[in-house]
Amino acid sequence: MKRVFNLLIRVLGIFFLVIISAILLNNLVFKINTPEKFKDSNWQGKWQSGGISIIGGKIKANLPDTLPKNEEFEVPIILYYNIWGLYQMGSIKEFTLKAMLTDENYGSGGNDATGKTESFLRPSKIFKAKVITIGEQKIDYQGYMSYGDVMILGGYKSANPYDLGTFKLEKIK
């Protein structure tokens, strides 16, 4: 029994060492391969494929300091693919988004069944964007910007290759 326990402890130790090493290597590959113009990006985050759970990565974006409301603006962005994913392992794609931020308030979920619905949520803004420079691939993003304009949570739909997934961007202070 003691031998089995010791073997189990060793296997778990090796397993956790491999996971920690993969995470550190992934962060190092991302840092080394990040283009110079994105080293000091003001927004960063993560993305995750909804179709294949091991495909995901990191995002860096250069959004304007003051975000324009109800008008299109361009956003330089990079997507990094984690090294353990089966697609584009450890690579970075750089492209530009054509984005728009609207002041629509979806805090109450649009539910006005009683006519006197109160919303205890703060108003949010809708973030919509499309890729304008990435070859054959087309990606549409849609999300909600938090109160205070410090976080965007949403989803994306990609064609060529097809994928649905989620993303989260946070403003770097």
Evaluate whether residue 16 is within a structural domain.
no
Q: Three-state SS across the chain?
A: CHHHHHHHHHHHHHHHHHHHHHHHHHHHHHHHHCCHHHCCCCEEEEEEECCCCCCEEEEEECCCCCCCCCCCEEEEEEEEECCCCCCCCCCEEEEEEEEEEECCCCCCCCCCCCCCCCCCCCCCEEEEEEECCCCCCEEEEEEEECCCCCEEEEEEEEECCCEEEEEEEEECC
Evaluate whether residue 61 is within a structural domain.
yes
Specify the pLDDT at position 130: 87
Specify the pLDDT at position 162: 87
Specify the pLDDT at position 11: 93
Domain harbouring 91, CATH code: 2.40.128.120
Give me the tens of pLDDT residue by residue for the chain, a chain 173 residues long.
888 888 999 999 999 999 999 999 999 999 999 999 999 999 999 999 998 889 999 999 999 888 888 899 999 999 999 999 888 899 999 989 999 988 765 544 444 444 444 444 455 688 888 886 567 788 899 999 887 888 999 999 988 888 899 999 999 97
Evaluate whether residue 8 is within a structural domain.
no
Evaluate whether residue 92 is within a structural domain.
yes
Domain that holds residue 74: 34-106+121-171
Evaluate whether residue 150 is within a structural domain.
yes
Specify the pLDDT at position 114: 45
77 touches 98 (CB < 8 A): no
Specify the pLDDT at position 125: 82
Evaluate whether residue 22 is within a structural domain.
no
The total domain count for the chain is 1
Tell me the one-letter amino acid at 129.
A
Evaluate whether residue 26 is within a structural domain.
no
Specify the pLDDT at position 53: 86
Evaluate whether residue 161 is within a structural domain.
yes
The answer to pTM > 0.85 is no
Specify the pLDDT at position 119: 44
